[in-house]
């Protein structure tokens, strides 16, 4: 994968391939913080009335017996790779991160359903400077004094400062160091206060402060042992719901209950991560009672239909596949803005520069067939640049394009594209309706999309030259803006739309920018900046701007959105108390328990 650095973080990944809800009608009782001009009650009301919730699906047998929560039992979760370190500052390894979630506290939490920042971790409240040159940039966090490391020492502001200073220090060699460039300074006037000054006002900036914290009193103050500290492999000091027990490399990582966890001691006795690379073996382990929780690969999801006693949670996707349409002339790529920030007029693409042609393309595709053929039983259509998991900012006012060959034909004729010589390809002013369509050859899913798109567009007089190429070649062509159309995708899109910097004209930078379709719209620039920097960061007011952006994009058609694959999790029928969400499946684990 090629990480594309956004204005806030590197959450968004330009992906090689896409393989890719609550049980009650309201959010957890902990208040969502950071909507600074609103009370916690107002924030909860905003969310509860604006987000469509998708409940977790329980196993069929749960209606037959409802025993009371019980203490005991070890949950066994399958992971497809071993951890590489248990120091969360040093790794992007998914297993390492799952273990770190259970061991280490963080300054801020995240709501599992919405992806919004919460006060469910060390910070119990905060304020934001609302006037002067520091407006929206300076956050003052007030910390709880009830959270302790397992060696008895309190978790304090010093742990926060040490962790973020280490992340920023080149000697630590953290993969998250680039994120720290957004933080101008971090001060700790006392043990219960942290003041963070960001370089710019941005409503997504607090997401940078969800990094798991290290016990600073067990590391050298100059970070000289960050890479070599024994705690990296045997983290005997932690403060999460579980404590480290043992790590058998290549086999399992075992955790045990933290009796002093500040949210309350977990009901489960322990949590074990079993390293099982084979997805089929994971599924058989679940069916055979040797595992309690697995992430089911898309190709195996249909097998769950024959095992109705297992709980299934389909988390909305954090990514999607789409066809990028180059709005500018690929023969002369140029940036969207000059040094002063003024828009640079773009020479239009000789074919795709006409919005009627782009709309015709969107009506020429049979989406039902695309989704059923490509994603089979584990796909859903996507109609917005915000993935389904960012539900609070989605709009339901869009009229996504439908398969309408007649409308597509009319649009092409209005644009002057007619097959005058009856050779099956439309022409206009001596130019044939020929376009190159590219995708990466190592993604069978996208190759199949390309084959179907080529086939369907041919019936309307398009000559689509489809080629599957090496990913490196594809990414260079896409980022350099020297293409007509590309099938690609965004993976792991961040929980806040402010990190999806796809449409600002300043992100149109040949070679590096994420606005590689050369989309230009002064109002979209304004709406996005307002939503990103809105004083108080009100959810309703921000969502209004993002919905305006989505509506404008639907009219302009710079992308043709295809589909995504929900992430499917399966739970043993003995497991109870889960509150999974798209942003955190292992959510509120202290309440999980096993029927004996």
Q: Which DSSP string do the residues of 151-174 spell out, in sequence order?
A: TSPBP-HHHHHHHHHHHH-GGG--
Is residue 333 within 8 A of residue 515, CB to CB? The reply is: no
Together in a domain, 383 and 481: yes
Q: Write the pLDDT tens digit of every residue in 447-472.
A: 999 999 999 999 999 999 999 999 99
550: in domain: yes
Burial environment of residue 291 by CB neighbours within 10 A (0 to 12, 13 to 18, 19 or more): buried
The domain containing residue 228 runs over which residues?
88-95+104-232
Residues 339 and 444 in one domain: yes
Give the relative orientation of helices 522-533 and 539-556 as an angle to the nearest 10 degrees: 160
In a domain, 42, yes or no: no
Residues 471, 448: Cα–Cα separation, whole Å = 16
User: Do residue 128 and residue 192 come from a single domain?
Assistant: yes
The pLDDT of residue 545 is 97
Q: Within this chain, do residues 397 and 312 fall inside the same structural domain, yes or no?
A: no
| Residue 225 lies inside a defined structural domain of this protein | yes
Q: Cβ contacts of residue 70 below 8 Å, gap of 6+?
A: 267, 593, 594, 595, 596
Is residue 496, in this structure, part of any structural domain at all?
Answer: yes
Under a CB-based contact definition with an 8 Å cutoff, are residues 566 and 318 in contact?
Answer: no
Greatest alpha-carbon span in the chain:
84
Rounded to a whole number of angstroms, the distance between the first and last alpha carbons of the chain is 43
pLDDT of 43: 39
Residues whose CB is less than 8 angstroms from the CB of residue 366 and which lie 6 or more positions away in sequence, other chains included: 403, 452, 456
Residue 31 — pLDDT band, cuts 50, 70, 90? very low
Give residue 336's pLDDT: 96
Query: How far lies 532's CA from each of 31, 32, 232, 496, in Å?
Result: 22, 18, 36, 9
Question: Would 529 be classed as within a structural domain?
Answer: yes
Are residues 360 and 482 both part of a single domain? yes
What is the distance between the alpha carbons of residues 126 and 130, in angstroms, rounded to a whole number? Answer: 13
Q: Are residues 304 and 335 in the same domain?
A: no
Distance CA 153, CA 144 (A): 14
Helices H / strands E in the chain, number of each:
11, 25
Q: Are 472 and 16 in contact (CB under 8 A)?
A: no
pLDDT score for 385: 94
Contact residues for 291 (Cβ-Cβ < 8 A; gap 6+): 76, 77, 78, 274, 276, 282, 285, 572
Rounded distance between C-alpha atoms, residue 209 and residue 163, angstroms: 10
The answer to the question of residue 15 being in a domain is: no
Where do the DSSP E strands lie in 5-156? 13-14, 74-79, 109-110, 117-118, 123-128, 138-143
Strands annotated E in 282-395:
293-296, 311-315, 320-325, 380-381
The number of domains in the chain is 3
- Domain end among 232, 264, 280: 232
Name the packing angle between helices 444-458 and 355-364 (round to 10°). Answer: 110
Quick one: 465 and 545 in the same domain? yes
The torsion angles phi and psi of 310, rounded to 5 degrees, stand at -95, 140
| pLDDT at residue 323 is higher than 60 | yes
Tell me the angle at which helices 444-458 and 367-374 cross, rounded to the nearest 10 degrees: 150
How far apart, in Å, are the Cα atoms of 152 and each of 87, 143, 149, 536? 20, 17, 5, 37
pLDDT at position 309, please? 79
- Give me the long-range contacts of 328-332 (CB less than 8 A, separation at least 24): 328/353, 328/481, 328/517, 328/518, 329/353, 330/481, 330/482, 330/483, 330/484, 331/482
Give yes or no: residues 419 and 555 share one domain: yes
Which residues share a beta bridge with 294?
570
Is residue 439 scored above 90 in pLDDT? yes
* Tens digit of each residue's pLDDT (9 = 90 or more) over 582-595: 999 999 999 999 99
* Confidence at residue 397, expressed as pLDDT on a 0 to 100 scale: 86
C-alpha–C-alpha distance, residues 320 and 439, integer Å: 14
The answer on 276 and 189 residing in a single domain is no
Position 281 pLDDT exceeds 80: yes
User: Quick check: helix, strand or coil at residue 487?
Assistant: strand
Residues 554, 424 share a domain? yes
Nearest to 108 by CA among 96, 124, 94, 97: 124
pLDDT tier at 11, thresholds 50, 70, 90: very low
Tell me the per-residue pLDDT of 325-351, one tens digit each, with 9 for 90 and over: 999 999 999 999 999 999 999 999 999
What does the pLDDT read at residue 414?
98
| CATH code, domain with 546 | 3.10.105.10
Phi first, then psi, for residue 477 (nearest 5°) are -65, -40
**Residue 415 in domain:** yes
- Secondary structure E strands in 193-285: 193-198, 242-248, 252-257, 270-275
485-491 and 2-3 strand pairing: unpaired
**Whether residue 195 sits in one domain with residue 227:** yes
How far is residue 79 CA from its own chain's centroid? 20
The pLDDT > 70 percentage for the chain reads: 89
84: DSSP letter: S
Q: Looking at the structure, do residues 153 and 215 belong to the same domain, yes or no?
A: yes
The pLDDT confidence band at residue 15, using thresholds 50, 70 and 90, is: low
CA distance linking residue 298 with residue 569, whole number of Å: 10
Question: If pLDDT is split at 50, 70 and 90, which confidence band does 17 have?
Answer: low
CATH code (residue 266) = 3.40.190.10
The confidence score (pLDDT) of residue 61 equals 52
Element (H, E) at 49: helix 40-50
Q: Which CATH number do you get for residue 151?
A: 3.90.76.10
**Which residues, including other chains, have CB under 8 Å from residue 406's CB and lie 6 or more apart?**
none
Q: Give residue 316's pLDDT.
A: 87
Q: pLDDT for 418-429, tens place per residue?
A: 999 999 999 999
């Amino acid at each position: 994968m090629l990480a594309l650095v956004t204005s806030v973080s590197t959450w968004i990944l330009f992906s090689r391939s896409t393989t890719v809800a609550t049980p009650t009608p309201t959010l957890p009782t902990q208040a969502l913080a950071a909507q600074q001009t609103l009370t916690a009650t107002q924030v909860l009301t905003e969310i509860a009335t604006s987000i469509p919730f998708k409940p977790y699906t329980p196993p069929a047998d749960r209606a037959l017996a409802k025993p009371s929560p019980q203490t005991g039992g070890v949950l066994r979760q399958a992971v497809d790779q071993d951890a590489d370190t248990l120091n969360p500052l040093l790794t992007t390894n998914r297993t390492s991160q799952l273990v770190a979630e259970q061991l280490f506290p963080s300054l801020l939490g995240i709501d599992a359903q919405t992806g919004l920042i919460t006060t469910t971790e060390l910070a119990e409240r905060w304020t934001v400077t609302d006037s002067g040159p520091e407006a929206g940039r300076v956050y003052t966090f007030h910390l709880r004094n009830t959270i302790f490391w397992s060696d008895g020492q309190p978790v304090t502001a010093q742990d926060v400062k040490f962790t973020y200073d280490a992340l920023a220090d080149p000697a630590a060699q953290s993969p998250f160091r680039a994120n720290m460039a957004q933080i101008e300074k971090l001060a700790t006037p006392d043990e219960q206060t942290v003041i963070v000054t960001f370089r710019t006002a941005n409503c997504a900036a607090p997401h940078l402060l969800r990094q798991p914290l290290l016990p600073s009193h067990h590391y050298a103050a100059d970070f000289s042992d960050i890479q070599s500290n024994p705690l990296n492999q045997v983290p005997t000091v932690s403060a999460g719901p579980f404590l480290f027990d043992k790590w058998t490399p290549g086999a399992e990582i075992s955790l045990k209950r933290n009796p002093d966890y500040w949210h309350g001691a977990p009901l489960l006795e322990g949590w074990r991560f079993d390293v099982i690379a084979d997805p089929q073996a994971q599924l058989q382990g679940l069916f055979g009672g040797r595992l309690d929780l697995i992430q089911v690969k898309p190709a195996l999801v249909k097998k769950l239909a024959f095992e109705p006693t297992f709980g299934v949670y389909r988390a909305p996707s954090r990514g999607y596949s789409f066809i990028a349409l180059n709005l500018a002339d690929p023969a002369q790529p140029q940036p969207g803005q000059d040094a002063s920030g003024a828009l640079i007029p773009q020479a239009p693409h000789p074919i795709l520069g006409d919005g009627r042609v782009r709309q015709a393309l969107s009506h020429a595709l049979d989406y039902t067939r695309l989704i059923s053929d490509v994603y089979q039983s584990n796909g859903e259509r996507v109609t917005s640049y915000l993935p389904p998991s960012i539900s609070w900012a989605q709009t339901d006012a869009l009229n996504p394009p439908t398969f309408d060959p007649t409308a597509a034909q009319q649009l092409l004729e209005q644009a002057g594209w007619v097959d005058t010589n009856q050779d099956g390809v439309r022409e206009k002013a001596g130019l044939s309706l020929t376009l190159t369509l590219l995708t990466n050859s190592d993604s069978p899913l996208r190759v199949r999309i390309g084959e179907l798109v080529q086939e369907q567009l041919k019936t309307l007089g398009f000559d689509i030259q489809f080629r599957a190429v090496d990913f490196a070649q594809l990414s260079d062509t896409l980022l350099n803006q020297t293409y007509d159309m590309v099938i690609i995708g965004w993976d792991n899109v961040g929980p806040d739309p402010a990190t999806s910097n796809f449409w600002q004209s300043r992100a149109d930078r040949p070679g590096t920018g994420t606005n590689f379709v050369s989309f230009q719209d002064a109002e979209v620039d304004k709406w996005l900046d307002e939503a990103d920097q809105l004083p108080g960061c009100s959810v309703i007011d921000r969502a209004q701007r993002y919905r305006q952006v989505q509506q404008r994009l639907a009219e302009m058609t710079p992308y043709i959105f295809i589909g995504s694959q929900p992430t499917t999790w399966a739970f043993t029928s003995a497991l109870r108390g889960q509150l999974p969400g798209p942003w955190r499946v292992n959510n509120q684990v202290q309440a999980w328990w096993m029927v004996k």
